[in-house]
A and B are shown apart, each in its own frame.
Chain A
Amino acid sequence: MSHEDMDELSPAARALIDDVRDLDGPGPADRARVKRALVAAVASGATVAASSAASSAAAAAGTGALATGGVSLGVKLGVAALLAAAVGGTALVVTQPAEEPAPRAEHRPARARFAEPAPVPAPEAPALEPAPAPAEALEDTPIAGAPVEASVVEAPAAPDAPSPALEPTPRVRRVPATPEEVAAVDSTLSEELVLLREAQRAMQADQPAVALSHLDAHARRFPSGILEEEREAARVLALCRAERVDEARALARRFLAERPRSPHRARVHAACP
């Protein structure tokens, strides 16, 4: 700031700000969690029609809108799909994405950038199964193409008075992120997924020691990978299954302490009673 133009803050105010302003950022787990959600949302085309008149206009214009009305739900569905892909239905699925109820019966296919709708699996289809999917590269391809009007950004500051057009009516149509989609999205993530899926298969085959070796491989290769949290949760489950109860409990305690907002907390907590 050009401080010569303005009064400076008092030393007391300055000290307060300087003392704490590195405290309200995200931690590593926060960054990874939101990134995972974002990657999954983009990969799955977590498509949400929005809650504002502007988004309706955008949808009507055929551009679709990923606006704020239901994004969080869309994002969560996307994450659930990703987690299911990562650690599998038997091991760690906290939310079966396909069973996630949509908030409204009406589904509106409002797609942000995905011209080709991906096949929507039957509700019971596990997200683990590979499915043909349009590959949309998030990281590898420069984002090109016509800009999509964003209702959030374009919307004028709306008056406080509620209006029907502004009612929050999130409508969600989810296309799950299959491992293949994710692979197209991010090769790193796909390598991570391979290891975690191996671990998950081993768990399904009741070979927890093998699962642990895959998890160790993941930990060596991607110590703070995007799926670190999934790996650690899966490790608790595998240790329990391997009857290494003390280790499992210790790890579970650490997991619960360090990841207070993990979606896997309940699973981890219940793993080794």
Chain B
Amino acid sequence: MEMPVPNADILSRKDRIVALLRSVLPADAVISEEAETRAYECDALTAYKCPPLAVVLPASTQEVADVLKLCHAEGVPVVPRGSGTSLAGGALPTADSVILGVARMNEVLDTDYDNRVIRVQTGRTNLSVTGAVEERDFFYAPDPSSQLACAIAGNIAMNSGGAHCLKYGVTTNNLMGVTLVQMDGTIVEIGGAHLDAAGYDLLGLICGSEGQLGVVTEATLRILRKPEGARPVLIGFNSNEVAGACVSDIIKAGILPVAIEFMDAPCIRATEDFAKAGYPDCEALLIVEVEGSPAEIDEQLAVITRIARNHDPVELREAKDADEAARIWLGRKSAFGAMGSINDYMCLDGTIPVSELPYVLRRISEMSKEFGLDVANVFHAGDGNMHPLILFDANKPGDLETCEALGAEILKLCVEVGGCLTGEHGVGIEKRDLMYDQYAAGDLEIQMAVKDVFDPKWLLNPAKVFPLAASQDRRSVALAAE
């Protein structure tokens, strides 16, 4: 993956820039020794690494504003970072950039059960937001699988989803207000504890903008009362087509499960070897989970099992208690670990119309043979968000490149059938150069024009999201102006 050549002038001014940063931050909040900046050289897309010029760890909105104002004046690019769990390279630095980490800002500022909102600093981890309201049986709905580690700041930047978004939506549907610091240091408040912020939907625009429009330091999030209970059913089929048809019939029957997870044969087998969850040896496996009181769950599961039986499943296992439910989820939750134990893997994130599922799985299997790399599929079937895992060997020369080429072909296939490149991980650097497959030049131009409004000098996370060639002029004009 190509990254822009670092700006030599900025590199030569490192000492001055670090000194300026130290003038606005406490001593321990500025990291500039290379031995230490290396800890920030990559995010969870570990194939790409580059230590930044410096790292700053501000502790307040005002400190964030001071840092941005200073970098703006100095013309130094800034890469915002939450917990660094991005799978798309969203927090990957360049050598001439300052990493702005929000990890020290992790306080809960206000918990308001009457209005069902919580106000947090965005360095707080996703799971600890739920942790803060659990005593009253509330929760924060978006649940990306990295939720133990990932920060709300990153969730907002990438508009993160999770397994339960069929019912509860993704981050943008649960975000009510933000404090945003613009690149020039201006602090703006958008939305709050009321619904539908005034004016243009800037909240919707900022959510998912990959840290390119501003740094979000505080957020008002919607919290919900936990359902009384939840229970899954496991359904095994001997063909992907039939499993796909079953998903569609469940949805058409008026049931809105909180999750419909799908695993294909390679994934089932690898998981079974690894976690021994007792899954049937079949072509496709669905885990469908519903929520409510015990009676409500029974009522919904009765409809689901009736539909499943019409499709002649090879296995139908309804969880009767928490223990059985945990066993059904065990394999699914171990899927990524299971893959990691066999091989290196690359996790894709394309989304497709649910109706195209059987065709896409068949094509992926053909492409897998063509490229000579195994692909296992585990994904959120209810919303069509695929997660093909391409297995490769990082120590084998050329394997990573073959893997990336296969990944690109699979994502193009997702677009071709009416889907998109990324459902919840973001574009980052990983899918940046495929954007022309999704969008026409004009569609990308208007998006870049939006960045012009928020960050005219293109200093915030500049080498992401847009193909480098497309953003070249904007990025170089900004630097030449210094």
Indicate, yes or no, whether A interacts with B: no
Give A contacts to B, CB under 8 Å.
none
